[in-house]
Amino acid sequence: MKMNFLIGKMAFASFFSLTSLIVLAQQKPYAPTAADIVEAYQRASQLDTAIRNVPTNNDIVPFWKKDGTAFWYKKNLPNKNWEYIYVDVASGSRKSAFDAEQLAQRLSAVSGQKQSAMRLPFSMLYFTDQHTLKLKSQNKWYEVNLDDYSIKPATDTAIFKYNSKMPLQRKYSRWEGSKTVRQSPDGKSEIEVRGGNLILIDVASKTETPISKDGTADKPYGNFEWSPDGKTVVAYKTDPKEIKKVHYVLSSVPGTTRGELKSREYAQPGDDFTSYQPYIFDLNTKTSKKVDVEATDFFSPQPLHWRNNRYYTYEKADRGHQRFRVIEVDALTGKTRNIIDEKTKTFIYESRIYTRYLPKTNEILYTSEQDGWQHLYLVNGISGKQHLITKGNWVVRDVDSVDIIKRQVWFKASGMNKGEDPYFMHYYRIGFDGKGLVNLTPEVGNHNVSFSPDRKYYLDTYSQVNIPPVTKLKVTASTKPLQEIEHGDVTPYLNTGVKLPEVFVSKGRDGVTDIWGVVCKPSHMDPNKTYPIIENIYAGPQDSFVPKSFLPASEMQSLAELGFIVVQIDGMGTANRSKAFHDVCWHNLADAGFTDRILWMKAMAKKYPNADINKIGVYGTSAGGQNSTGALLFHPEFYKAAVSACGCHDNRIDKQWWNEQWMGYPVGEHYDAQSNITNAAKLQGNLFLIVGEADENVPPESTYRLADALIKANKDFDILSIPGMGHSDGGVYGRRRKRDFFIRHLLKAETPNVNLVSSAK
């Protein structure tokens, strides 16, 4: 019996495979006529408008009353209307925040301008109590009595901005540096920098005492900080380096017949940086000593954290991104020791490091990837001993807040929940000891949370790319839902005819790691036709980019409606997974995860037989512009057409801080080997370059130098330079040209000739 079952199963499988082959053999490439393309453009535009008129509420932003008993929020309605909802937490009531018709009528009378009840234009609004609200409309403040809707100009317009009772501290930006304070802690003295030296001034007598003598205008002292008792000053002797400039010309300035030259400072990889050598000045003995540490030559000097009046710590990231330290300095001797000393053979992503100093307990909260995943550590600020708070094959994405009394960390993380998209954001709290982990957002989906002023309650909004958002009000202590505030419905979107994005997962280059992406298909897809695949690429290592929240409308879907299957993928080398996953980008930006992307698309084409794996296009902006051109240069056997907007085509031309983070320092031969410009002669497919002449993010010459190299290699390509435009994908005009390009080169069809359409009125 079992043998017969197996034979039957094998026969069925053979029949199924044969049937699939017959279906595939019957499929023909989608080959639209010029009229079909015109109709597709019209249909895509109509569908896009229809989808965007269906409201989404992905972001519910509550505005709480000061006592935390109620809040209001703005809810989106169909056809781009909206309303204001008031929620009383204690009673559970949910109602309109006010009578919109009455308020619109009164505002129209007071302002002299017609107001729509469905689109009341409030830039600010808050309730002083249940019967009174204050609002700002068209730059004027009003007070409204909700009992009779009488309105008068508001005099007190101070908006309540709550601070949670929980002691919070966000991480600071390491680009900001330390903050120099002229006046001493007791207010009796102040410091002035004059002629490159520090001058101590007695506030009462105006007596001046030089405290440094070797500073000059060329190498001045600066960036100074006081010790808590005001008896010591830490200052930095600076070796300034001029930041070189880049330029562009505005070609079409109204009112002139000449181009306008624009210049600005712009550090590129390998450029010299200003360095800062710390010195300690004893104001009692009028002596100084050089701190026994190398100069800070990357980032500005960071804030000092004094343990007492003798010891302080500060953070130092070495240029090259391979060492991060928290250094303790003995202000009496100038000697140093490392409290934290993290080194790596690849890179340390300093912008993702969180540090929180706890002076009462001499502890430091700190995030690190030293065990292969981004996790939280508690560090003894005296011994340097580290304790791992969180652990596992998942990623701490950010720290929301810290409760120093309960000794808890509130944080965001992804990848902890088995069987779920590892990029979904969830919110948690955990004790400093690593115990008592609580998931505040257990529902499957990508979450966004906001807390009430006293953190007794929180609003949790979650969704997936093809599942509309749900918003729940929950109790913080128990995570128990109190009530559902909003619940999106997928039906109105499906009624427009749109196909919502589909999630697809396949194995990466190692055969083990899951690679995640989304698929957008035409709403009028013929099952008997095959369609070219177009990848929307951005492989910048600073983040991950595949959308995770509800996405009924997007440029990808609009492009799909023209006759393409459009995909987006996060390959290896992007962030928010393991350290090993991220490290693929090191000295290797040209890799861009292409091996994973190609494997993913081949696997996707097996599941979706309407996908034509032999016709692959790709487009991207900025780093995505670099990636899309790189697809044609380094993988011409797979990618056939690319549109590249404002691309960083050579990592030596782009901004220093971004490119050295991934390509390293010093600038080596690998920069040249991975340059699109260096490899321009390898072009085989069809390439369309777009650049804004006023791009202040990626210098326009990055694209122009690529064009120069392509011309010298006698390669055919298209280029569009847009006067006055900055860092962009080309705007409405550029996006239309991009669609036309793919239609001509992948569908081999004619596009509408817009030049034949009269603009006369």
Average pLDDT over residues 465-470: 98
CB 120 within 8 A of CB 138: no
C-alpha distance from residue 125 to each of 128, 196, 327, 501 (Å): 10, 50, 47, 36
691: its two tokens: 């650049």
Please give the average per-residue pLDDT across 502-509, as a whole number.
98
Nearest-angstrom CA–CA distance, 703 and 636: 20
The answer on pLDDT for 21 being more than 50 is no
pLDDT of residue 112: 86
pLDDT for res 22: 47
Closest CA to 572 of 634, 626, 623, 507: 507
Q: Is the pLDDT of residue 156 over 80?
A: no
Mean pLDDT of 69-91: 93
The amino acid occupying position 268 is Q
Distance CA 239, CA 105 (A): 65
Interatomic CA distance for residues 274 and 297, integer angstroms: 6
Q: Which of 292, 294, 297 is nearest to 271 (CA)?
A: 297
In this model, does residue 158 exceed pLDDT 80?
no
Reported as a pLDDT band with limits 50, 70 and 90, residue 759 is low
Burial 83-121 (b: 16+ CB within 10 A, else e): bbbbbebeeeeeeebbebeebbebbeebeeeebebeebe
| Reported confidence tier of residue 161, pLDDT bands at 50, 70, 90 | low
Smallest CA-to-CA distance from 463 within 420, 409, 514, 424 is with 424
What single letter denotes the amino acid at residue 625?
Answer: G
Residue 137's pLDDT band (cuts 50, 70, 90) = confident
Between CA 600 and CA 106 the distance in angstroms is 59
448 touches 425 (CB < 8 A): yes
With a cut of 70, say whether residue 41 has pLDDT above it.
yes
- 174 pLDDT band, cuts 50/70/90, is low
Distance of CA 239 to the CA centre of its chain: 34
83-87, 146-150, 152-156, 278-282: the lowest-pLDDT one: 152-156
Largest pairwise CA distance in the chain: 107
Given a contact cutoff of 8 angstroms between Cβ atoms, the answer to whether 222 and 277 are in contact is: no
**d(C-alpha 159, C-alpha 135), whole Å:** 10
**Owner of token pair 């083990």:** 512
pLDDT tens, residue by residue, 538-549:
999 999 999 999
Please state the φ and ψ torsions of residue 416, each to the nearest 5 degrees. -80, -30
Spans of all domains in the chain: 172-353, 506-751
Say how far apart CA 250 and CA 258 lie, in whole Å: 9
The dihedral built from the CA positions of residue 24, 25, 31 and 37, taken in this order, carries a sign that is negative
Above 80 in pLDDT, residue 751? yes
Compute the C-alpha angle 719/724/727, nearest 5°.
70
HEC letters along 136-177? EECCEEEEEECCCCEEEECCCCCCCCCCCCCCCCCCCCCCCC
Structure tokens at 585: 């980008």
CA distance 405 to 455: 15
pLDDT tens per residue across span 555-580: 999 999 999 999 999 999 999 999 99
Q: What is the pLDDT of residue 159?
A: 63
User: Does position 740 have pLDDT exceeding 80, yes or no?
Assistant: yes
Among residues 35, 48, 32, the alpha carbon closest in space to that of 497 is found at 48
DSSP state for residue 183 in the 8-state scheme: B
Model confidence at 732, in pLDDT bands (50, 70, 90)?
very high
> 3-class SS at 744?
helix
* Closest to 215 (Cα-Cα) out of 223, 227, 205: 223
Nearest to 578 by CA among 354, 395, 428, 397: 395
Measured CA to CA, the distance from residue 724 to residue 736 in angstroms comes to: 18
Q: Looking at residue 154, what is its pLDDT?
A: 87
Q: How confident is residue 625, by pLDDT bands cut at 50, 70 and 90?
A: very high
Cis peptide bond upstream of 666, omega within 30: yes
257 φ/ψ sector (left φ>0, alpha ψ -120 to 50, else beta):
alpha
Q: How far apart are CA 90 and CA 452, in angstroms?
A: 13
Q: Residue 59 has which token pair?
A: 């972001």
Count the Cβ atoms, other than its own, within 10 Å of residue 29: 14
Judge if 172-353 and 506-751 fold alike in CATH terms.
no
Burial class (CB in 10 A: 0-12, 13-18, 19+), 482: middle
Question: Residue 735: pLDDT above 60?
Answer: yes
What average pLDDT does the segment 8-17 reach? 43
- % of the chain with per-residue pLDDT over 90: 86
Q: What is the C-alpha to C-alpha distance for residues 217 and 684, in angstroms, rounded to an integer? A: 55
Q: What is the mean pLDDT of residues 394-420?
A: 97
pLDDT number for residue 1: 41
Using the Cα atoms of residue 488, residue 489, residue 490 and residue 494 in order, give the sign of their dihedral: negative
Distance from C-alpha of 302 to C-alpha of 294, rounded to nearest angstrom: 14
pLDDT tens digits for range 284-316: 999 999 999 999 998 899 999 999 999 999 999
Q: What tokens were used for 728? A: 């962009």
Q: Give the separation between CA 549 and CA 445, rounded to whole angstroms.
A: 8
Give domain 506-751's CATH superfamily. Answer: Alpha/Beta hydrolase fold, catalytic domain (3.40.50.1820)
Cis peptide bond upstream of 185, omega within 30: no
pLDDT for residue 595 = 98
How many whole angstroms separate alpha carbon 334 and alpha carbon 619?
54
Sign, Cα dihedral of 552, 555, 561, 563: negative
Q: Give the closest residue to 191 by CA, choosing from 214, 216, 221, 228.
A: 221
Amino acid at position 175, single letter: W
Residue 199 has pLDDT above 80, yes or no: yes
Q: Look over the chain and give the mean of its residue pLDDT values, rounded to a whole number.
A: 93
In this predicted structure, the answer to whether residue 210 has a pLDDT above a threshold of 90 is: yes
Q: Are 513 and 595 in contact (CB under 8 A)?
A: no
* Alpha carbons 615 and 745: distance in angstroms, whole number: 9
Out of 77-86, 532-541, 601-610, which region has the weakest mean confidence (pLDDT)?
77-86
Residue 178 has pLDDT above 60, yes or no: yes
Using CA atoms, how far apart are residues 310 and 374, in angstroms rounded to an integer?
33
The token duo for 584 is: 């693929």
Q: How many residues does the chain have?
A: 761
H, E, C per residue of 62-99: CEECCCCCEEEEEEEEHHHEEEEEEEECCCCCEEECCC
Look up the CATH architecture of domain 172-353: 8 Propeller (2.140)
Q: Tokens representing 80?
A: 């781009």
Mean pLDDT of 137-160: 85
Structure tokens given for 494: 């499906």
Residue 65: which pLDDT band, with cuts at 50, 70 and 90? confident
Q: What is the pLDDT at residue 5?
A: 36
Q: How many CA atoms lie within 13 A of 82 on its CB side?
A: 14
Half-sphere exposure of 594 (CA within 13 A, CB side): 22
Q: Rounded distance, CA 223 to CA 309, Å?
A: 19
CB within 8 A of 342, min separation 6: which ones?
Answer: 323, 324, 325, 348, 368, 370
CA–CA dist 211, 330 (Å, integer): 19
DSSP secondary structure code for residue 576 in this structure: S
Is the CB of residue 498 less than 8 Å from the CB of residue 557? yes
Nearest to 29 by CA among 602, 521, 747: 747
Question: 143-147, 430-434, 736-740: which range is least confident on average?
Answer: 143-147
d(CA 145, CA 406) in angstroms, rounded, equals: 42
Question: Tokens standing for 400?
Answer: 């929301």
Q: What is the CA radius of gyration of the chain?
A: 30
Q: How many CA atoms lie within 13 A of 331 on its CB side?
A: 26
